[in-house]
Structure formats: C-alpha cells, structure tokens
Amino acid sequence: MALATVDSLLSSFGRFGVELGLDRITKLLNDLGNPHNSVPLIHVAGTNGKGSVCAYLSTILMEAGYRVGRYTSPHLVDWTERICVNDSPISEQGLQQVLIQVIEAIDPSAPSPTQFEVITAAAWLYFAQQQLDVVVMEVGLGGRLDATNVCDRPLVTVITSISWEHWQRLGPTVADIAREKAGILKPGCPAVVGPLPPDAKTVVDRRIAELNCPAQFPEPATPIAMQPGWVQTQGFSYPLPLPGEAQLINSALAIATVQTLRQQGWQISDEAIAQGMAKTQWPGRLQWVIRDHRPLLIDGAHNAAAAQILGDYVASLKAPEPRPNLPEGASRPRVTWVMGMLSTKDHAGIFSALLRSGDNLYLVPVPDHDSAKPEDLATLARNICPELEDIRCYSDLFLALKDALQLESNLTVLCGSLYLLGYFFADTVTQKG
C-alpha cells in the first residue's frame, strides 16, 4: 500500500492552527522516547536573520566534518526543505515514514498537537535516527512557548534580532516580544546576541543576568578593502556570499557561535569556517533569478525590519539611468515592486521601508493563505507614498510579473511574503543571474 502523502498526513493537523505552549510537544516527544535528548542543539531565535545564521552554522559544521541536522521554517516549496542533514533535505518517503511514526504515537485521549508540533517532533525523531553530531534549530514563533524550546541544555542559544512582528501572539510591544524570544535562554548556557533595540536589550540583558548565561554581543563584520567579497570579525577573515548589509551581523553571530563551540572542544578549523561561509546558500533572501530573460530580485521582506534590509540593498544598487527626482548623488534604481502580503502583517511599515517616488507597485494575493486584499493595500500605499508612478492590482502573481518585466528601465522586485516566493518557485523554472 502506498504511503499517504506528506500534505495529507499534515493537513488534518492544520485545523488546530497556531497555539503556543509546550505541554503537547513535551508529551508527544516523551511518547516517542524523547529523541530531542539524544542530539546536541544550537537553538536560534530572532525576528530576522535566523535562517541565514542557521545556514552559516550548519555549513561550517559540515565542512568541519560533523554530521549536522538543520530545522527551519517555513519552507518555500516543499515540507522536506525544513528537515536537512548535511544540507540535503529529507526525502519525501523519509518524511512520510517519520510522520507516520509520530502520528501513531499521538495519544487520542490527549489534546491534539498542532501541525507545527507534529513536523517538529518528526524532525527530532529523524535527527535521532540519523545519529547526528549536532542539530541547528530555528525557532518557529517567539521562543519561550515555541515547540522547538524543549531542550534544557543547548550548546549555544542565539538571538539574532528583535523587532515588532507577530504582536498578535507575542505581545504589543518590543519588550513583550523580547521576553518571549529570551525564553530560549537556559541557566548557565552560552548565549550569542545581536544588536537589539533599547527596550528589547534591557529585557534580554536582565534575563541573561538572571540565568547567569555567558554571553557574547558581537559587532558586525567589516569588509576587507584589499579582498573584495571578504569580511573580518573577531580575528577571522572569510568570504561572504550572501548579499545585504544584514549579513555583516548575521555572519558575525555565526562566527561568535563557532568560537563558543571551539571553547567547548569542538574541532572547527579556520579553513572549515572560510569554506563553510563560501558555500552557504539561503534561497529567497536577496536572491537574483532570471525570468523572461530579465533579472528579478526576490526577497521575503515579510516585516518592516526585513523590508528595511531589502530597501537598503536596493538603495545600494546603481541606477541604469539618472534619477532627476532624487537628491544629488543618489543612484537608487526606479523599482517596480510586485508584492503580496498576509493580512496579519505590518503593511504600513513594509510600504514605508520600500516605496519611493517614481516607483510602480503591482499588488497580488498570496495564494492559499490569509492574504491581504490587493485593493486595500493599494489604498494604503497611495496614502503612504502619493508620488508612486503607478499602482495596479492583479488576480495572480504571474500576470503581474509579466507586465512588470516588460518595463526594461525598471528594477523588478518580488517580495512581501515567503509564501508568495514559494508559489513563485513552485511554478517557475529559474536560474541564478
């Protein structure tokens, strides 16, 4: 008999939605034999930067000769992307089998686990079965009550950044959100923390002191003038393949984490660090692809802080023609933004970070998700940036992209939702520009 598909196995748990809490996942893992206790963990939380830090760490550790599991979310196209061993996603059949094992262990008399809890338990079970040396795990939502937060003694905990997102579940202020993300810190366990807003830093610093966590607060890496594409931080020099200013701090956080592992006895050479950095890839974040023989920049940019990173990157690009409506010395390209966003996102914050005079905005729905209506977004965008050249609403992403890519003088950027990028990748054959 053929195995049920991954989608069918997980779909029945989707109705339980997002429900934070550790009781269900703790019971489920206990019924599975507590697989999470058999593999050392590096735990990574933060508003932005989690995925790239996880990618840096897993690739460096793999280059050092370790067998490394990586768990991230959400996926772009396929559930298998979330569970990787040595940068290779679990096979479809492997995920089916491990999901069946998890589902069979669920106590029908107890409250049902959520979909995220089921896939997280499957990741832990698979990693334990693979007898890995270490797992790099990204928090799903928040930290304190996230299903990944079940290990008492992580090797290192990392908090990459904190900004205003998921306020509906984590709390209305940055300080509230910081308390939730600081919930991954454990007594006496090393912490690596990126630059934080003052309110968030106060909360995190207090928690670090309460738990007596040895903590590092690395500064961003700095470019090496005589070695284009290389940076340095904390005594290390390495290539930085992922674009954007944010990677200066993200890579520095990864290096600080590696330093902590070295202090614990992990054998990670300078050569492994440089090679791991050089080989790191993280799709869907400041990624160039080719569509209709034209370059297309794609990025999730699903919150205001991520949108600011994208906006800064676009501002660093040289315009193909003069922009008389910009201040003297400015060279930002004219952009056609192709955007869709979930209804729960900070639409105004994202628009404010991206939209500039003379740009075009083509708005689309995010398929199969709780999407904001393009018409509502259009009204908001016009209020935020009245000097937009054109605003259009489309029923489908690919109709918008077809029109956008015909404007040869403009840079085309697809952004606003990782789910929208997943829809793009699932239906488009692309190649790197």
Q: Are residues 193 and 326 in the same domain?
A: no
Q: What are phi and psi of 429, to 5 degrees?
A: -90, 115
Residue 265's region, left for phi above 0, alpha for psi from -120 to 50, else beta, is left
| pLDDT tens digits along 255-313 | 999 999 999 999 999 999 999 999 999 999 999 999 999 999 999 998 998 999 999 99
Using pLDDT thresholds of 50, 70 and 90, give the confidence band for residue 49: very high
Structural domain tally of the chain?
A: 2
Q: Are residues 87 and 12 in the same domain?
A: yes
Looking at 279, 297, 315, which one is the last position of a domain?
279
In a domain, 1, yes or no: no
pLDDT at 430 over 80: no
In a domain, 370, yes or no: yes
Q: What's 49's domain CATH number?
A: 3.40.1190.10
Q: Are residues 112 and 173 in the same domain?
A: yes
For residue 152, give its domain range: 6-279
Q: Are residues 321 and 347 in the same domain?
A: yes
Starting at the earlier edge strand, list the strands of the sheet with 230-233.
222-223, 230-233, 236-239
Q: Are residues 386 and 264 in the same domain?
A: no
Q: How far is CA 43 from the centre of its chain?
A: 14
The pair of three-digit structure tokens given for residue 293, joined into one six-digit string: 């023989």
pTM above 0.85, yes or no: yes
CB 284 within 8 A of CB 81: no
Q: Are residues 251 and 306 in the same domain?
A: no
Rounded to whole angstroms, the Cα distance separating 102 from 98 reads 6
